[in-house]
Amino acid sequence: MATIVQPPSVARHKARMEHGIWSWLNTTDHKKIGQLYLYTSLTWFLVGGLEALFIRSQLWSPNGHLVSAETYNQLFTMHGTTMVFLVIMPFSAAFFNFLIPLQIGARDVAFPRLNAFSYWVFLLGGVFMNVSWLFKAAPDAGWFGYAPLTTKAYSPGLNIDFWVLGLQILGLSSLAAAFNFITTIINLRAPGMRFMRMPIFTWMSFVTQFLLALSFPIITVAVTFLMFDRFFGTNFYTIAAGADPLLWQHLFWLFGHPEVYILILPAFGLVSEVLPVFSRKPLFGYSVMVYSGMLIAFLGFGVWAHHMFAVGMGPVADSAFSVMTMLIGIPTGVKIFNWLGTLWGGTLRFTTAMKFGIALIALFTIGGISGVMHASPPSDLQQTDSYFIVAHFHYVLFGGSMMGLFAGMYFYYPKITGKLMSEKLGNVHFWLTFIGMNLTFFPMHFLGLTGMPRRTWTYDANQGWEFDNRMATVGAFTLAVATLLFVFNWFRSMKTGKPAGNDPWGGATLEWSIPSPPPEYNFAELPNVTSRTPMWHGDPGPGPATYPAAFTPAPVRTASELGIVLPTPTMKPLIAAMGLGVAFTGVIWHKNYILIFLGAAIFVATLYNWLLTPLEPEHH
């Protein structure tokens, strides 16, 4: 065979395609896509946090005037929408992407190009939603967008248009990803990886995908109705035409409550990976953890109307939803106790990841308890729509989801980057976050119990609310400092961190058997799995001598050396997503049909071309 000498420009081009910015734009590698999700969510996390700082500064004193009422309403709407759809969900998606194939011993997800498409559509949705700020028309009717406030009659501006279309885009991304991961987990498990041997994070993610696949169609319907009302003059929510606004509420919460579990179950999964490793014990009650996750998800579809006790559904419905909601406390409690059981009798190593994991148990418990209080309608009628609820769900979402995600980020940092993250800075980050979180959200319990309504731009003096509001504001700024420190630590450790080797923590599952960062092909040879903790061989042992342990990485062979065929990098998912972007821009731009059809044409043509191109290069 004759050697072909490439001209330098071609070689440079090739290098760019493999390592530079292009390698991110055309990637179909689940690990790269996972990182794209992670960095994008981190960016939105900073944006959502900044919005929170504005909110807290406005509430620093009674009758504050830092921002106008209209701006405030945009801030809290975007804070909620951002943190739910652009932060916690995609942070979880980052872990789905990065971890699931590694944990089940696969080389990639089932549909790598669809996976890239999900990411690009998610990015588009986030940008679309936030571009509204530039037009001074950010969504302003709350993340729950109750009709009829969202209808044209009461919100004539572009604000709600951005929200409606943004949600549609994000829903598309979530649905595509859900089907992808369901297929991946069912079909791509390594030999011997039975369902009941799957790592618990993969299990919780698996359950989450079903929640996504079943609940997002509901919000899609609800939002489509609203979109039709706003763009084509239909009357699904038009009060003047006799519409019943409870239609929206039922649809929204039928999605919205499973959504809560979409936000929390992946974090539960991450913590269930972290605690055993640093306790040097297997997870206590593995099967019960799996079943309780399923039960939470199942019951999660039957409790939506507990968000609506104040709408007057009547005593029978109130009682039914109340009891259903209390029932969901049982599997949740079981999880808490099983985590305690995991710690019990272990030898605990307090790494930063472990601290965040333990913090989740401590803080989620508080959110869970206040949740049971809301399950009782007579009591809830005094609490709903007050700051007590704000306290409750921040304990669940910050104290639960974010703590779990931080635990996961510290735990998997070495696997993602190949470097060790500074535990010293991590420790400071943990304590600042823990203190800041409690300082911000605990006083909100008192604000709620002393009558302060939610979503209020301002409050009057002499109501006894100054002190608690000030504490919360101080806490919010503490959290901001903590988060900046985290970002600093993240990027600094990428430069200065010691190499991590395969397994800095003495991990139990397959992802720790391969180099960090994992090679493109993940596993040189697909593993044969014989237990739930394949890396422990029945005994976790004391783990590495120091935490975390630094290892000199072994040389990694390339895919072509090993003869592994990988999917061809392709820009088609990105181009298809851009087509959607053009179409949606056309919709918001006074229904510009030229743009709409142009975008749709790009989308359809790219999709057609994509479907006709094989995933992997053909063999010759």
Q: Residue from 192, 245, 302, 527 that binds other proteins (CB under 8 A)?
A: 245
Single-letter code of the amino acid located at 299 = L
Size of site (CB under 8 A) for other proteins = 100
483 belongs to the binding site for other proteins (CB under 8 A): no
Q: Residue from 246, 435, 524, 564 that binds other proteins (CB under 8 A)?
A: 246
67 belongs to the binding site for other proteins (CB under 8 A): no
Report the alpha-carbon distance of residue 171 to residue 399 in Å, rounded: 25
Q: Identify which of 185, 176, 10 has the alpha carbon closest to the alpha carbon of residue 110.
A: 185
Q: Residue from 217, 464, 528, 594 that binds other proteins (CB under 8 A)?
A: 464
Q: Residue from 61, 365, 513, 568 that binds other proteins (CB under 8 A)?
A: 365
Among candidate residues 40, 41, 155, 173, the one labeled active-site is: 173
Q: Could you say which residues in the range 169-228 bind other proteins, by CB under 8 A? A: none
Q: Choose one: 343-351, 424-432, 502-510, 548-556; the region binding other proteins (CB under 8 A).
A: 343-351
Q: Choose one: 95-103, 104-112, 365-373, 562-570; the region binding other proteins (CB under 8 A).
A: 365-373
Shortest distance (Å) from residue 371 CB to other proteins? 10
- Catalytic residue check, 332: yes
Shortest distance (Å) from residue 155 CB to other proteins? 8
- Residues in Cβ contact with 196 at an 8 Å cutoff, skipping those fewer than 6 apart: 286, 287, 290, 532
330 belongs to the binding site for other proteins (CB under 8 A): yes
Q: Identify which of 34, 65, 67, 70 has the alpha carbon closest to the alpha carbon of residue 50.
A: 67
- Residues in Cβ contact with 368 at an 8 Å cutoff, skipping those fewer than 6 apart: 329, 332, 333, 336, 396
Among candidate residues 259, 273, 380, 468, the one labeled active-site is: 259
Radius of gyration of the chain, Cα coordinates, nearest whole angstrom: 25
Q: Could you say which residues in the range 118-177 bind other proteins, by CB under 8 A? A: 141-142, 146, 148-149, 154-155
Of 285 and 527, which has the nearer Cβ to other proteins?
285
453 secondary structure, DSSP code: B
At 84, is the secondary structure helix, strand, or coil? helix
Q: What are phi and psi of 162, to 5 degrees?
A: -60, -40
Q: Choose one: 27-35, 333-341, 489-497, 581-589; the region binding other proteins (CB under 8 A).
A: 333-341
- Catalytic residue check, 79: yes
One character per residue 14-43, x = contact with other proteins (rule: CB under 8 A): ------------------------------
Report the alpha-carbon distance of residue 616 to residue 613 in Å, rounded: 9
- Catalytic residue check, 108: yes
Report the alpha-carbon distance of residue 30 to residue 101 in Å, rounded: 8
- Catalytic residue check, 174: yes
Q: Residue from 7, 8, 233, 242 that binds other proteins (CB under 8 A)?
A: 242
Q: Choose one: 82-90, 171-179, 317-325, 581-589; the region binding other proteins (CB under 8 A).
A: 317-325
Q: Choose one: 255-263, 296-304, 377-385, 562-570; the region binding other proteins (CB under 8 A).
A: 377-385
The terminus-to-terminus CA distance of the chain in angstroms comes to 14
Single-letter code of the amino acid located at 94 = A
Report the alpha-carbon distance of residue 501 to residue 126 in Å, rounded: 35
- Catalytic residue check, 215: no
The answer to whether the CB of 243 falls within 8 A of the CB of 253 is no
- Catalytic residue check, 261: yes
Report the alpha-carbon distance of residue 426 to residue 137 in Å, rounded: 38
Q: Identify which of 187, 160, 275 has the alpha carbon closest to the alpha carbon of residue 587.
A: 160
Shortest distance (Å) from residue 374 CB to other proteins? 9
Single-letter code of the amino acid located at 114 = L
Cα–Cα distances in angstroms (integers) from residue 577 to residues 27, 178, 272, 602, 608, in the given order: 14, 17, 35, 9, 13
Of 143 and 523, which has the nearer Cβ to other proteins?
143
Q: Residue from 107, 250, 281, 394 that binds other proteins (CB under 8 A)?
A: 281
One character per residue 344-363, x = contact with other proteins (rule: CB under 8 A): xxxxxxx-------x--xx-
Q: Choose one: 46-54, 112-120, 312-320, 570-578; the region binding other proteins (CB under 8 A).
A: 312-320
Determine the longest span between alpha carbons in the chain, in angstroms: 88
- Catalytic residue check, 498: no
Q: Identify which of 277, 276, 286, 262 has the alpha carbon closest to the alpha carbon of residue 205.
A: 262
Among candidate residues 30, 31, 113, 257, the one labeled active-site is: 257
At 270, is the secondary structure helix, strand, or coil? helix
Q: Choose one: 228-236, 326-334, 403-411, 602-610; the region binding other proteins (CB under 8 A).
A: 326-334
Report the alpha-carbon distance of residue 120 to residue 130 in Å, rounded: 15
69 belongs to the binding site for other proteins (CB under 8 A): yes
Report the alpha-carbon distance of residue 381 to residue 614 in Å, rounded: 57
- Catalytic residue check, 259: yes
List, in sequence order, the alpha helices (H) in 460-568: 466-496, 559-562
Q: Residue from 98, 119, 255, 457 that binds other proteins (CB under 8 A)?
A: 457
Q: Residue from 127, 131, 213, 288 that binds other proteins (CB under 8 A)?
A: 288
The answer to whether the CB of 201 falls within 8 A of the CB of 272 is yes
- Catalytic residue check, 257: yes
Q: Could you say which residues in the range 513-532 bind other proteins, by CB under 8 A? A: none
Q: Could you say which residues in the range 533-572 bind other proteins, by CB under 8 A? A: 539-542
Of 412 and 457, which has the nearer Cβ to other proteins?
457
The answer to whether the CB of 290 falls within 8 A of the CB of 203 is yes
Active site residues: 79, 108, 143, 173-174, 257, 259, 261, 272, 306-307, 332, 335, 454
